[in-house]
Structure 1
Amino acid sequence: MLTEIKGGNTMKLVPLSDRVVLKQLEAEETTKSGIILTSSAQEKPQEAEVIAVGPGGMVDGKEVKMQVTVGQKVIYSKYAGTEVKLDGEEYIIVRQNDILAVVE
């Protein structure tokens, strides 16, 4: 299943191969005990929503079947992916094998 993100009138973000486009979920602004964190103290969450999924297929000589779908919430590796900005929105493009789990 190939999905795309349309930005503005001319740009489209279409993941290739085994890539997945993620939109990072918001960072927690308070701790469990109620302490408010400044933006510099907030750690980026590793939880994101799947926005677009590449077609899979042959990757490095191996057949890759895409296991995530648009709309799922996932946890991905901390230093994985490439951050991109499209029409003021930030996205992360990762390989499917950088996704560690689906949050249900």
Structure 2
Amino acid sequence: MKRVEEEAKTKGGIIIPDTAKEKPQEGQVLAVGPGARDEKTGNRAALDVKVGDKILFGKWSGSEVKIDGEDLIIMKESDILGIVEA
């Protein structure tokens, strides 16, 4: 998942410096795994999220990683608070 950057300027035209910005809690799904495996049956659970979805997540959700110089977040589907409809 990749964070979606927020606007650097408020609606009133005030420019927000990088040091005052909080990390956005909205992102775009870049890839999904096969789903969790049920311990009893061994079947995979279907995922509700798919590649390209815009999602909302908690401030401390997931694990931040850097891959090929790009900051990404790996998280469980249960960490996702909602999917943003276009």
In the superposition, the TM-score normalised over structure 2's length comes to 0.86
- How is 1:20-99 mapped onto 2 (pairs within 5 angstroms)? 22-58=1-37, 64-99=45-80
Aligned residues: 83
* Structure with the bigger percentage of helix: 2
Deviations 1:52-82 (A, max 9, x none): 1011132676963211000010101111010
Gaps of 5+ in 2: none
In the superposition, the TM-score normalised over structure 1's length comes to 0.72
> Which ranges of 4 or more aligned residues in structure 1 deviate by more than 2 Å?
59-65
Gaps of 5+ in 1: 1-21
How far, CA to CA, are the matches of 2:28 and 2:72 in structure 1? 10
Task: Tell me the percent identity.
Answer: 47
* Structure with the bigger percentage of strand: 1
